[in-house]
Structure 1
Amino acid sequence: MLDRRTLLASAVALTISAGTRAAPSGADARLAALLQSHVDAFRRRVPEAGGDPARLGDRSLAAMATDRAAVKQGLAALAAFDPATLSPRAREDLAVARFVYATLDDMFGRYGFVDIDLRPSPYVVSQMNGAYYWLPEGIGRQAVGTPAERDGWLARLAALGTAIDQESARIAHDAGIGVIPPDFVIDRTIAQLAALRDAAPAASPLLPAAARRTADVPLDRATDVIRTTIAPAITRQIAALQAIRARATDTAGVWHLPQGEAYYAAAARANTTTDLPPSELHRIGLAQVADYTAQLDTALRAQGYAAGSVGTRIAALNDDKRFLEPDTDAGRAAIIARLEAILADARGRLPTMFHPVTVAPVTVRRMPIGMEAGSPGAFYNGGTPATFSINLRATADQPLWRLPTLAHHEGIPGHHFQASALDSAGALPPFRRLVRFSAYTEGWALYAEQLADEMGCYSDDPVGRIGYLQSMLFRAARIVVDTGIHHKRWTRAAATNWMVEHAGESPIPAQREIDRYCVYPGQACSFKVGQTQIAAAREAARARMGDRFDVRAFHDIVLLGGPMPMQTLAAAVDRWAAA
């Protein structure tokens, strides 16, 4: 999973400038100037995405209203461009921008949270969302090497209290219109908030690592800010959630919220960047689950797992002690070392599928302990240093046969390689570097798992290849349970049991996943939809080009073209194949 997972993921909204700093001539230049003005305004609006290091973005209700008005202005400015007057690349930029702003305009007209990644949530604060969840690690990673950097870090640290209070006000506002998280979401969120508040200041993720070894860092001032500003704001947010807890139910799906069915259809469209309706997504998910189940049946039988359903046999493989590290610090260190070795092996195989790309270093580490209970199995954070965080709350949740695919998804040739390729795309406009689409980023990471198989990463690891097939089954099952919860009105328990029975997931990780889908409707569908669309575009180009097809050139189109909706990607590949 790409973390939302970047500083951009903590952005609440996109505010843009209504003006266009027109270039001397040409529609391409005018569009480029407009989009650059949007980037500049976004960084002023959301400083944590690369702006003033002493500020945080405004998360108030008033700011949300301003954002929506600005998005409408942006749509009007983009509507003035005639695609016929633009070059092919500029037409692609225009198509991407129009999709982003149209989707933001749609979701801003509803409730909850939406960011420039177009991954909406109906709940402003949850076990996987909110200033308390996304901002501490970014604040803790700020540079503190100079007096000015230290002052900026302290100012942003203090601003976190305001950000939390602004979201607490929105919790109360949304509850007033009938938007209340499920009771189990509230309970887990309160527990995580309390863990952040009650952590010893020296162990807080808000403090840079340098602060623990550099005498120049004002730890006394920082801990005072945490104690007097941030901790009280967290206490107030806990109280805001407790105030609505009595009105919460255990209903998992957004269908019960105001205009909930329409909300889910819009969220699915934002995440998949397709017009596939929930009913069709459910059908696709079931068909793919059946296909991967058949493949797994064969692979499991070859390893001696022949009794019971595929889900039962995967569960037995999960419990096979040959593939479990002890639940100790040494066991966790062994898992991290294994992931590092898998990444090194994949790095050496890249030339078979890609033209040369400078792959930045990536650090594999344990996820912050206070976030593990409500977080997925792993996530990737770009930046310097890039980090691949793995959830090691219990080592039994990370059996060794699953690790290769996890490493390929989050690292190489998945999210980390994708980020490195984007860094090397020198001609890509800043706007195209700014936007993200779940179907593109998560779709690529899942497609990367397929590439790892095609690169021979599992040639001597048949059990690891079972992990790859199970991962594909798991992502197909995600489509089924996400649409099941939000469209077919499944209960939380029914969705969890379906995941355990059909995807071979262990009950505790399966429950954690289901709870994630409850707060990010439609996002679970983006992985497999994106992978399917990318693979389909590749095979369509191969069929059209015959011997002219070069998979490395195809990957240049997908990666160096930057993030884009799936229909835009298909059109770009089609133009390349026809050229």
Structure 2
Amino acid sequence: MKKIFLSVMAITLFFVACKTETKKETPIAITEPNKEFNQLLKDYNEGKLELNPINATYAGDNRHNDKFPNFLSDEYALKAKDFFTNYKAKLDAFPDDKLTESQQMSKAVLAWDTDMMLNQMSFKNDQLLPINQMWTVNLVMGQFASGSSAQPFKTVKDYENWLSRLDKFNTWLLSAKTRMQEGIKKGYVLPASLIEKVIPQFEVLSEEAVSDHLFYAPIAKFPESFSEEEKKELTQKYTNILKDKLIPTFKSLYEFLRKDYLEAGLKDSGIHAIPQGKEYYQHAIKNYTTTNMTADEIHQLGLDEVKRILGEMEKVKLQVGFEGTLKEFFEFVRNHKDLMPYTEPKQIIDNFNAIHEKMKPQLEKLFGNKPKTPFVVKQTEKFREASASAEYNPGSLDGTRPGIFYTPIPDASKYNVFSDEALFLHEAIPGHHYQISLTQENEDLPDFRKTLWYSAYGEGWALYTENLGKELGLYEDPYQYFGMLGMEMHRAIRLVVDTGLHAKGWTREQAIQYSLDNEAESEASIISEIERYMANPGQALSYKIGQLKIGELREKAKKELGDKFDIREFHNQVLETGCIPLALLENKIDKWIQQNK
């Protein structure tokens, strides 16, 4: 899973998506770019960075590092609505026949971007459900506070920027409590099981020992260039903001969460239980899958895929000579000591790096373009490790900050390696790191498209790359291949349980049991995953829908091009335009096939 900050009001770039449109003839494009349209794209990008300066920081744009708007205020909501409404209207001044082919793509993307943002803002979810255990801005700020994420701490100005941002973040936290109190009255509350996972996160942050506080971490990492006077002054300022503002606010939220909010927590597990929940879920499906599929259609697709993958798993069970049932084999794999060989987190990190080295020679055969942005593997920070999944954080646009593959390792001795090869392909190379970095490095793309995230495309690509393992010299160990099947099964199960939870009245316990019955993940991991789907309806649907479409397009190209099919060029075609809706990707590949017949 690629991780980018979820803007509380606008759902941000990570959750923007695009509808499937009826195919139509593309107007003949001009060859010279329309300068006025390019300026519109630049202005749009600048405006979005100002609306969400956290995304600017993630992109390596440090101009807004001191800013943190109150995403929960009515003033912010009005400002955002006006922004997207105005840009949607401005597109009418640029007919397709006055734009280059690339600009036509940008126009289609921008049109849907504005539509989806405005539709998202028509619901109250973002304001009245501002905090959950996995996706929300308080967790991003915790990452930033560690001093090892996107927020820079290299100069005195950097430290002062963070102080300014913290002050505004404190205002947001106070607003979050007010909005959640409002949410209780209006029926917008998290399921109680999710609130129970949020409470410990705030309990840790409410502890009064300033020097041990997560948000004090940058003080322990002063650059050597700082003078003693600068260190002393900054230390005092950080101590003051923690003692006088942040810790008391965290404490107040902790008390509210564990008492009033938990008492009001929903017994239902799905989004259908809140006002307009059914309508919101259909919006979320379109948002994340970039299709007009219904919950029922996706649920049945998931059931079909689960059945198919179970058949493949049976073959592996026979290959390794296991004589029990497939469910017994799941339990065997979960607890097989040979698959838990490590005692220290560093050994697990080293194993991921060894996987990269093993497949490097084969990457040349499948990919003509490879990113310049550096890449590293890191252990997930302790403060969020218990409820986190493995994830990818993009590098900065200028390439100075590497892409980071985070893997949670709560207990190295219990870490099971059976899916590590597939996990690396998905989260790292050639999955998220290739797709995102190549997009960011593409000088032909306007800036706003370099940070857009269409989940069906981005997560679909990453899941598609898991199936490249054998072509990349991996999956020689049948347990690693079973791990790939397990991860694909995991995404197929998501189609069933996400729609089950949010559209068919499934309980959290039903979803957990369905997963336990059909995959080899540990119960603790499955519980974390199910609660993730509860917190962010629809997101989990995007992986399998996107993977199936990209695989379908590859098979179509192979069939129609025959000997002319070049896998390196196919991958280039998929990746070169950046993250786009599936309908636009399909139109692009169809055109490429026709041009090369």
TM-score normalised to structure 2 length: 0.88
CA contact 2:285–2:538 (8 Å) conserved in 1: yes
Q: 3-state DSSP class of the match of 1:198?
A: coil
Counterpart of 1:150 in structure 2 is 159
Counterpart of 2:21 in structure 1 is none
Partners of 2:339 and 2:218 lie apart in 1 by 33
Consecutive unaligned residues of structure 1, counting only runs of 5 or more, are: 17-24, 115-121
Q: What are the equivalent positions in structure 2 for 1:233-312 lying under 5 Å apart?
A: 233-241=249-257, 242-308=259-325, 310-312=326-328
Match status 1:527 vs 2:539: no
Counterpart of 1:13 in structure 2 is 10
Partners of 1:358 and 1:434 lie apart in 2 by 15
Partners of 2:414 and 2:531 lie apart in 1 by 17
Consecutive unaligned residues of structure 2, counting only runs of 5 or more, are: 14-30, 57-62
Partners of 1:489 and 1:271 lie apart in 2 by 21
Match status 1:376 vs 2:389: yes
Match status 1:49 vs 2:61: no
Q: What are the equivalent positions in structure 2 for 1:399-414 lying under 5 Å apart?
A: 399-414=416-431
Q: Offset of 1:236 from its aligned partner?
A: 2.9
Counterpart of 1:118 in structure 2 is none
Counterpart of 2:490 in structure 1 is 474
**Cα gap change, 1:11 to 1:545, in 2 (>3 Å):** farther
**Cα gap change, 1:348 to 1:332, in 2 (>3 Å):** same
**Cα gap change, 1:396 to 1:275, in 2 (>3 Å):** farther
Counterpart of 1:357 in structure 2 is 370
Match status 1:219 vs 2:225: no
CA contact 1:325–1:334 (8 Å) conserved in 2: no
Residue range with higher mean Cα deviation, 534-543 or 461-470: 534-543
Counterpart of 1:197 in structure 2 is 206
Q: Offset of 1:301 from its aligned partner?
A: 1.2
Match status 1:135 vs 2:135: no
Q: 3-state DSSP class of the match of 2:223?
A: coil
Match status 1:317 vs 2:329: no
**Cα gap change, 1:26 to 1:424, in 2 (>3 Å):** closer
Amino acid at match of 2:577: G
Q: Offset of 1:477 from its aligned partner?
A: 0.6
Q: Offset of 1:239 from its aligned partner?
A: 4.1
Q: Offset of 1:200 from its aligned partner?
A: 5.3
Match status 1:98 vs 2:104: no
Q: Offset of 1:374 from its aligned partner?
A: 1.9
CA contact 1:172–1:240 (8 Å) conserved in 2: no
Match status 1:398 vs 2:404: no
Q: What are the equivalent positions in structure 2 for 1:52-67 lying under 5 Å apart?
A: 52-62=64-74, 63-67=76-80
Partners of 2:12 and 2:494 lie apart in 1 by 32
Q: 3-state DSSP class of the match of 1:214?
A: coil
**Cα gap change, 1:207 to 1:344, in 2 (>3 Å):** farther
Residue range with higher mean Cα deviation, 464-473 or 342-351: 342-351
Q: 3-state DSSP class of the match of 2:377?
A: strand
Counterpart of 2:125 in structure 1 is 112
CA contact 1:273–1:566 (8 Å) conserved in 2: yes
Q: Offset of 1:408 from its aligned partner?
A: 1.2
Q: Offset of 1:539 from its aligned partner?
A: 1.7
Q: Offset of 1:26 from its aligned partner?
A: 7.8
Residue range with higher mean Cα deviation, 56-65 or 137-146: 137-146
Counterpart of 1:342 in structure 2 is 355
Partners of 2:10 and 2:589 lie apart in 1 by 30
CA contact 1:71–1:105 (8 Å) conserved in 2: yes
CA contact 1:10–1:135 (8 Å) conserved in 2: no
Counterpart of 2:552 in structure 1 is 536
Partners of 2:121 and 2:202 lie apart in 1 by 26
Q: 3-state DSSP class of the match of 1:357?
A: coil
Which of 344, 350, 360 pairs up with 1:331? 344
CA contact 1:61–1:170 (8 Å) conserved in 2: no
Match status 1:509 vs 2:525: yes
Counterpart of 2:20 in structure 1 is none
Amino acid at match of 1:454: E
Could you list the per-position Cα deviations for residues 167-190 of structure 1 after superposition, in whole angstroms to 9, with x for gaps in the alignment? 223222333321110011112111
Amino acid at match of 2:341: E
**Cα gap change, 1:14 to 1:468, in 2 (>3 Å):** closer
Counterpart of 1:160 in structure 2 is 169
Which of 185, 201, 206 pairs up with 2:215? 206
Residue range with higher mean Cα deviation, 35-44 or 389-398: 389-398
Amino acid at match of 1:394: D
Q: For the aligned residues, what is the CA RMSD? A: 2.4
Residue range with higher mean Cα deviation, 499-508 or 219-228: 219-228
Partners of 1:426 and 1:293 lie apart in 2 by 44
Counterpart of 2:499 in structure 1 is 483
CA contact 1:252–1:486 (8 Å) conserved in 2: yes
CA contact 1:39–1:434 (8 Å) conserved in 2: no
CA contact 1:137–1:205 (8 Å) conserved in 2: no
**Cα gap change, 1:305 to 1:429, in 2 (>3 Å):** same
Q: Offset of 1:144 from its aligned partner?
A: 2.8
Q: Offset of 1:475 from its aligned partner?
A: 0.7
Counterpart of 2:196 in structure 1 is 187
Counterpart of 1:72 in structure 2 is 85
Q: What are the equivalent positions in structure 2 for 1:567-578 lying under 5 Å apart?
A: 567-578=583-594
Q: 3-state DSSP class of the match of 1:364?
A: strand
Q: Offset of 1:192 from its aligned partner?
A: 1.0
CA contact 2:501–2:507 (8 Å) conserved in 1: yes
**Cα gap change, 1:178 to 1:546, in 2 (>3 Å):** same
Amino acid at match of 1:69: D
**Cα gap change, 1:214 to 1:90, in 2 (>3 Å):** closer
Matched-pair identity in %: 26
Q: How many residues align?
A: 556
Q: Offset of 1:359 from its aligned partner?
A: 4.3
Counterpart of 1:175 in structure 2 is 184
**Cα gap change, 1:293 to 1:396, in 2 (>3 Å):** farther
CA contact 1:192–1:370 (8 Å) conserved in 2: yes
Partners of 1:204 and 1:368 lie apart in 2 by 14
Could you list the per-position Cα deviations for residues 418-466 of structure 1 after superposition, in whole angstroms to 9, with x for gaps in the alignment? 22222331211101112111112111111111122332222x3222111
Partners of 1:300 and 1:93 lie apart in 2 by 48
**Cα gap change, 1:528 to 1:290, in 2 (>3 Å):** same
Q: Offset of 1:284 from its aligned partner?
A: 0.7
**Cα gap change, 1:396 to 1:492, in 2 (>3 Å):** farther
**Cα gap change, 1:453 to 1:380, in 2 (>3 Å):** farther
Q: Offset of 1:288 from its aligned partner?
A: 0.7
Q: 3-state DSSP class of the match of 2:64?
A: coil
CA contact 1:15–1:45 (8 Å) conserved in 2: no
Partners of 2:8 and 2:564 lie apart in 1 by 43
